[in-house]
Amino acid sequence: MKDTCHLYTELAWLWPMWGDAATEYAHYCQHVTGLIRQYAQRPVATLLDIGCGGGKNAMNLNREFNVTGLDLSPAMLVQAKELNPDCTFVQGDMRICRLGRTFDAVLMDDAISHMNCRADFVTAFRTAYDHMNPGGVLVVTPDVMIETFQQNKTTTTPATRDGLDVVFIENVYDPDPTDEQYETTILYLIRDHGNLRIESEHWTMGIFSLDTWRQVLRETGFQVHEGLYRPGEDEYTVFACVKAR
């Protein structure tokens, strides 16, 4: 099936309804901030959010740091700027972009899953490394890893706002567990004052083993620390990666 890009283009206006910036993102960002403070070998004032999307992480991290967001999608950056008028947002591709400045910390959150081949995965971490000051910390949280992937998992998220009732139905499936890709398929049920519109999405995403994550991060040049983030019943490995001084 061919990949689509609706959420990051004409459906970007739906992003603010999918996951609450002030609760679930705030909880994750507290964890990220704690790791940065724990492992940084320098004062941390500036942070680059790579794949910042609609700016929900940026909103929470901007309380602690001076945040710049980088994303491929102009439509998502419009959402990010609306949520964070005082942050800087830049359009660019995390595989090749060079901003010409460096930061004390970098966050790579869910956007890293869009690196769906090893070469892109490696170059994205090179981008992070090249944008960091010595002694700074990269925090990166895999959405999925080969060892813990939950085949055919489906998550349903209802949301209501201003006469709109939306249901996001997200399914993940790995048709070939021997390669480094899996599929995310999303159904959007959008009811505008009761009138139903159905949209769908299909993405080919990247999935790597724990050892591959460790190896790629080390080969990029980082000192790698591993921890766990446990929101509710879920559990994610989180890497806090220090760029040596």
Ligand X SMILES: C[S@@+](CC[C@H](N)C(=O)[O-])C[C@H]1O[C@@H](n2cnc3c(N)ncnc32)[C@H](O)[C@@H]1O
Q: Interface residues with ligand X (CB under 6 A)? A: 8, 51-57, 71-73, 76, 93-95, 109-111, 114
- Which residue lies nearer to ligand X by CB, 22 or 192? 22
Residue nearest to ligand X (CB): 53
We find the least distance from the C-beta atom of residue 103 to ligand X, in angstroms, to be 16
The minimum distance between CB 65 and ligand X, in angstroms, equals 14
How near is the Cβ of 194 to ligand X at its closest, in Å? 28
Q: Which is nearer to ligand X, 114 or 243 (CB)?
A: 114
Instruction: Name the 3-class secondary structure at 221.
Output: coil
The smaller minimum CB distance to ligand X, of residues 41 and 123, is found at 123
Is the CB of 194 or the CB of 234 nearer to ligand X? Answer: 234
Q: Which residues pair with residue 229 across a beta bridge?
A: 236
CA-to-CA dists, residue 124 to 19, 57, 108, 128, 138, angstroms:
25, 19, 9, 6, 12
Instruction: Count the residues in the chain.
Output: 245
Residue 41 CB, nearest approach to ligand X (Å):
26
- 3-class DSSP state of 133: strand
Q: φ and ψ at 24, to 5 degrees?
A: -65, -40
Alpha-carbon distances, residue 166 vs 8, 103, 125, 128, 156 (angstroms) = 17, 37, 35, 35, 10
